[in-house]
Amino acid sequence: MKRLLIGGSSSKLFHLKEFADSLENLGVECKVVFDAQIYDGFPSRKIKNWFQTRSKFNKLIDEFKPDAIFVDRQRHFGLASAKTRIPLIVHLRGDYWKEMKMAKETLYKSPPKRLALWKWDQIGERCFQSANLILPICGHLENITKEHYPTKNVATLYQGITPSRWYHAEGMSLNHPCVGLLQGAVIFEKAKEMLILENVLKAFPHITFYWVGDGPYREYVLSALKKHENFKWLGPLQYPDKVREYLSEIDIYALVTGIDMSPLTLLEAQLMEKPVVATNVGGVPEIMKDGETGFLVEKGNSQQLIDKITILLEDAKKAKEMGRAGKKFVTDNFSWEIIGKKFLEITKKHLSL
């Protein structure tokens, strides 16, 4: 492969550019674009985008001449890519099918939103059907994807990270001892699990729990937890600098989630040498080592969460050892250099590129 065109959402461009940099170092010329700026349509939130033509997209293809197109989400850019004769690689970050089902049952109940969701689903399935290769972000998601598309080329491509970006940084002052959460409230199943923190907060009245994140289910979470004096919501933080300061300051990182595939924050916390406690769901066990870089706890089990936090608070030596082990584990397995090489191995195997 000599040239790769990469399209994704604005929120993922930072990470996609890191991915592109790793491939550039391996001799692949890359171009990263915000997909909706190149080609969009109904049901985009910007009505003017409903009437876009493929002229920008066609010009991009003619000028860059990619050997393959990598799409980081299932949108109109992917549909346009499917109409070319260029191999289409679809990157899959979440359980698309379960998330669609949850969306129908929660945020998308009104007729206009149902229509929009139906259209997004139609676009998504067409992207999958047209893909020459689907790359789920973890092994757990690979198995799910194969259930839906058993005849497709499917292989795991983990989220990469640049270890050198994650170093101790001053600038934030928190109460200690403390536990830090860094996760969104965008998906109901994920946000709902945070409510088990009520029991945890009661068990640790002198430990402060900080939450960084936001989303449509923010108030759902805060209505249950903000009444506790030892729970503090910090809102979203600027990425990566303020997030780095936050992770530098917390004592323990906790991922309390009902559904997750490969949360980047778990990798970041381990690179910051923080012991981690995370819910044993989805692909989470694939990107940490239970008993070595932290602890896994079962979904809905607040007592397990209390027990594991207690161990880390009472055994500073173990907490420090786990933090160091976490940094080594992530560096050795998820650095962009490793993920970039893996990507080229996969494309050579499945697409002969």
> Which residues lie below 8 Å from residue 58, measured CB to CB, with a gap of 6+?
none
- Token pair for residue 301? 């089990």
| Spatial separation of the C-alpha atoms in residues 129 and 122, rounded to whole Å | 11
Can you give the residue range of the structural domain that contains 77?
Answer: 3-160+335-351
Q: Are residues 249 and 213 in the same domain?
A: yes
Q: Encoding tokens for residue 212?
A: 């960084």
Would you call the peptide bond into 240 cis, given omega within 30 degrees of 0 as the criterion?
yes
Provide the CATH number for the domain around residue 224.
3.40.50.2000
> What secondary structure does DSSP assign to 241-293, as a single string?
HHHHHHHHH-SEEEE--SS-S--HHHHHHHHTT--EEEE--TTGGGSS-BTTT
Structure confidence at residue 161 (pLDDT): 98
Q: pLDDT value at position 145?
A: 98
Co-location of 107 and 256 in the same domain? no
Same domain? 173 vs 317: yes
Query: Which amino acid type is present at position 262?
Result: S
Positions of the chain with pLDDT lower than 50, given as ranges: none
| pLDDT of the residue at 150 | 97
Alpha-carbon distance of 97 to 220, in angstroms, equals 23
Is the domain of 115 the same as that of 210? no
The answer to whether residues 123 and 151 belong to one domain is: yes
Q: Give pLDDT, residue 107.
A: 83
What pLDDT score does 108 carry? Answer: 86
H/E segment holding residue 62: helix 55-64
Same-domain status, 91 and 145: yes
Q: Please name the residues in contact with 280: beta carbons below 8 A apart, sequence gap of 6 or more.
A: 290, 296, 297, 298, 299
Structural domains in the chain (count): 2
* pTM of the predicted protein model: 0.95
Calpha distance 297→217 (Å, rounded): 23
